[in-house]
Amino acid sequence: MTDDLAKLTTEGNNSGTRSIDESSTEQILSMLNDEDSKVPAAVAAEIPSIALAVEALSKSLSSGGRMHYIGAGTSGRLGVLDASECPPTFGVDPQLVQGHIAGGDIALRMAVEGCEDDGEAGRALVDQLGITSNDAVVGISASGTAAFVIEALQRARELGAVTISVVNNRHTRLEQVSDICIAPVVGPEAIAGSTRLKAGTAQKLVLNMLTTSTMIKLGKTYNNLMVDLKASNKKLYNRSLRIIMAAAEVEEQVAARYLKEADMDCKLAIMMIKSKLGPAEAAAALEACNGNLKQAIRICNQAI
């Protein structure tokens, strides 16, 4: 055992849960819930760093770059999960936000031992992805010691990409290769070293904040509505109708008619209603504003 690992907060022994194996079911659940309740405050303390990351991400993506999550184990799975939710939520190309895990896709379903220690594989992944100075790479590691993630971020940095780390310890090797470090320190886990618990929860909250805030800044919402979704199934069709009704203040029948005319494009339907333009003209107005619906509506209304 190395001194570096022994000193990690995420490897510590939680004095509050030492009798957890002798506790009743309700007591176990209360202990876990008490520990989980510490997570939001730890994330809130990192909002200044998260804000820096969002500014960097929105700059990269608006300039034609991509966002890549790279992690191992639980951290890698959370990155893949967050990336996979961006296309259906915000209507973006699946290549815009990508998630990668040490050990490849098989590691999403089962542990692949030793892959997080393979730094060369991390560097090779970055080269394989064709990372450039336009891109942003987010390395996720609870301990901040996963060689796969560290070397991937180091290689991305060498290529000029923005590097961001999400860790649960201070002053880690991962932080040293990051332009921006987000480090919600949640303390020792209820089960010592099990970072799928509080550390994983903190990471999930941070990743949600990174992509959601970035997409808002890129104009992927109208007020708090996810207007860039495509009505590709019954649930999303009904959600699209509700969004159009709320944003454009129209009845369901009108919303359905415009959604059909817009080829199931929720944002375009709203633009058509608000601007009184046809599909082609409304689409062109949106394109001229880089897809920002609110901006496009304001410009059209000023021109009337």
Active-site residues: which are they?
Answer: 85, 116
Strand partners, 181: 165
Strand partners, 138: 69, 164
3-class DSSP assignment, residue 105: helix
User: Could you give the CA distance from residue 160 to residue 134 in angstroms, rounded to a whole number?
Assistant: 8
Q: Which two tokens stand for residue 49?
A: 């760093």
Query: Helix 293-303 vs helix 279-288: angle between axes, to the nearest 10 degrees?
Result: 110
∠ CA 185-177-134, rounded to 5°: 110
Please report where in the chains the tokens 């999930």 appear, as a residue: 204
**In what side-by-side order are the strands of the sheet with 97-101?**
97-101, 67-71, 136-141, 162-167, 180-182
